[in-house]
Amino acid sequence: MRESETIEFKKSTTEVKAGVTSIVAMLNKHGRGEVYFGINDDGKVLGQTLGRTTIKDITQAVVDNTEPKVYPKVEARQIEGRECIVVEAHGSDSPYFAYGRTYIRVGDSDKAMSPQEIETRILNRKKLLWEKEISEKTFADVNEDTVKEFMRKAKAAKRIDFDFVDVKTTLKKLHLLHKNQLTNAAEVFFCDENSMEVQAAIFAGTDKLTFLDIKSFKGNLFSLRQQAEIYVESNMKWRADLSESRRKEIPEIPVRALAEAIGNSLCHRDFTNPKGNEVAIYKDRIDIYNPGLFPEGINPEDFFSGEEQSILRNPLIAETMFKSKDIEKWGSGIKRIHDECVAAGVRVVFNRRKTGFVVSFYRPKWEDGEGLGEDGPKTIKKTIEKTIKKNSQKILDLVRQNPKITAEELAKATGLSSVGVRYNLNKLKKENVLKRVGPDKGGHWEVVG
């Protein structure tokens, strides 16, 4: 064990003030933290002498000198045969202050937070309350079928242990009611008419100057996710891999990565921002925009390793989507998007914007072998060769059945263009498999041998 962004060592309780500061810094960064008294900076266990009131005094020091109040778990623990004191704290009311100042954890150090960062944290704390505020919607506005479908998925994922009885009982057990009224979180999940919207568009180039199509999706959060996913999947490129025995349809961007990005953009958006989510398909990329700023103090790349802990803007909404397996809660979304794209040879970039956050998937140039792995060019060649062979065999069979069949009829029967039909006919002719009998106009093809 060593010091980290969520673990701090102190030689003894004489450093209790510094320990309280570390607790605040860790809560402001990760919402949790542990301080060990009786271990030095190098991780060597020294042990800690416990008096009759030691644990009580440390607990009181934390409670009296933090704002908002932090109520830690403090206990004696045997580590390497020596007695130490461990202080554990959790909280989501950032920014926390210690002795009138606030700090943030950077590596294994505590850094003073800037006034601007403090202001941002205070504003974000207020925004966190949005999901728990009482909605203007009533139970009559709830789509019962959506609640039942949610319960089916959550039960299948084994993340809830109760059954659907009725809407009110179910939403209460999901903590989506306040004083028997719908919260805003319940509204966006289960009311088809709400303030949420997803703008989707296809653009001719690499900017927003000329659009080819534009849509506006409305509905509950689950419906919006489905509509956005269908829109992207229907308007991106797919190719057929015929290199194996069975035809395989492969998307230019991994579908799981796109679904993860869309789900995360809806879950982690700033619901107090009237601007909607956006899905934009450009000539060179697909952007998933979320009107919610990325947390300060960490970068998207910090999540690639899977060790960084997420900071939730909407913990109740995240918890609910976690239950139905629509997201994985603890900061794993960015890692999964990154890993899926790396495996597929697709470039993905996570961009902070002044107004929100964008995940950009860059569309591969399949004609150059991009996005097909190290054997991309070979795969393309193999697929093309197999496709040509398959089409040539179709044409050969059709000519054998009807020697007088026309090029137009061949195109209709095979689904090829007229150019494709001519290419395959000439190829078969060069291979001396077919021959032309009579003039070009009025003649016919004949199978050789």
Give me the pLDDT at residue 116, please. 81
Query: Rounded CA gap, 225 and 146, in Å?
Result: 13
pTM above 0.85, yes or no: no
Query: Rounded CA gap, 192 and 220, in Å?
Result: 5
**Is the pLDDT confidence value at 76 over 60?**
yes
**Is the pLDDT confidence value at 43 over 80?**
yes
Give me the pLDDT at residue 361, please. 96
Residue 302 neighbours by CB distance under 10 Å: 14
**Is the pLDDT confidence value at 343 over 70?**
yes
DSSP 91-154: ---PPPEETTB-EEEETTEEEEPPHHHHHHHHHHHHHHGGGGSBPS--GGGB-HHHHHHHHHHH
DSSP lists the bridge partners of residue 202 as: 213, 281
Question: Quick check: bond before 68 cis, omega within 30?
Answer: yes
Give me the pLDDT at residue 440, please. 65
Give me the pLDDT at residue 241, please. 67
pLDDT digits over 44-70, tens only?
Answer: 999 999 999 999 999 999 999 999 899
Which of 9-18, 39-48, 113-122, 140-149 shows the lowest mean pLDDT across its residues?
113-122
pLDDT band at 197, cuts 50/70/90?
Answer: very high
pLDDT digits over 354-403, tens only?
Answer: 888 999 999 988 665 555 555 545 554 565 566 677 778 888 888 888 88
Give me the pLDDT at residue 206, please. 94
pLDDT band at 248, cuts 50/70/90?
Answer: confident
Give me the pLDDT at residue 121, please. 77
Give me the pLDDT at residue 81, please. 94
Query: Rounded CA gap, 354 and 349, in Å?
Result: 16
CA distances to 71, 82, 84, 376, 425 from 74, in Å: 9, 17, 11, 58, 83
338-346 CB contacts, 8 Å cutoff, 24+ apart: 338/303, 338/304, 340/254, 340/256, 340/257, 340/260, 341/253, 341/254, 341/257, 343/254, 344/253, 344/254, 344/257, 344/371, 345/370, 345/371, 345/372, 345/373, 345/376, 346/252, 346/253, 346/254, 346/257, 346/371
DSSP state at residue 45: B
pLDDT digits over 399-431, tens only?
Answer: 888 888 888 888 878 777 666 777 788 888 888
Question: Quick check: bond before 95 cis, omega within 30?
Answer: yes
DSSP 211-267: EEEEEEE-S-HHHHHHHHHHHHHHHS-EEEE-SSSS-EEEESS-HHHHHHHHHHHHH
Residue 272, amino acid: T
Is 443 strand, coil or helix?
coil
What's the mean pLDDT when you consider all of the chain? Answer: 86
**Is the pLDDT confidence value at 342 over 70?**
yes
Residues 6+ apart with CB under 8 A from 7: 1, 33, 34, 36, 108
Give me the pLDDT at residue 274, please. 79
Is 396 strand, coil or helix?
helix
Task: For 362, list phi and psi in degrees, rounded to 5.
Answer: -85, 125
Q: Which residue has the tokens 């919260």?
A: 183
Residue 380, amino acid: I
Beta-carbon-side half-sphere exposure of residue 314 (alpha carbons within 13 Å): 29
Query: Rounded CA gap, 357 and 141, in Å?
Result: 31
DSSP lists the bridge partners of residue 361 as: 286, 348
DSSP 277-306: EEEEE-SSEEEEEESSPPPTT--GGGGTTS
pLDDT band at 140, cuts 50/70/90?
Answer: very high
β 97-98/66-67 pair status = antiparallel
pLDDT digits over 261-280, tens only?
Answer: 999 999 989 888 778 999 99
pLDDT digits over 5-22, tens only?
Answer: 999 999 999 999 999 999
Name the strand (E) or helix (H) holding 55.
Answer: helix 54-64
What b/e sequence results for 177-207 when a residue is b if at least 16 CB atoms lie within 10 Å of its CB, and e otherwise? bbeeebbbbbbbbbbeebebebbbbbbeeee
Query: Rounded CA gap, 161 and 152, in Å?
Result: 11
Domains belonging to the chain, first-starting first, are: 7-113 (3.30.950.30), 120-373 (3.30.565.60), 378-447 (1.10.10.10)
DSSP 181-210: EEBHHHHHHHBSSSS--EEEEEESSSSSSS
Give me the pLDDT at residue 44, please. 95
pLDDT digits over 277-335, tens only?
Answer: 999 999 999 999 999 888 766 778 877 776 666 667 788 999 999 999 988 755 678 88
Residues 6+ apart with CB under 8 A from 166: none
Query: Rounded CA gap, 11 and 244, in Å?
Result: 64
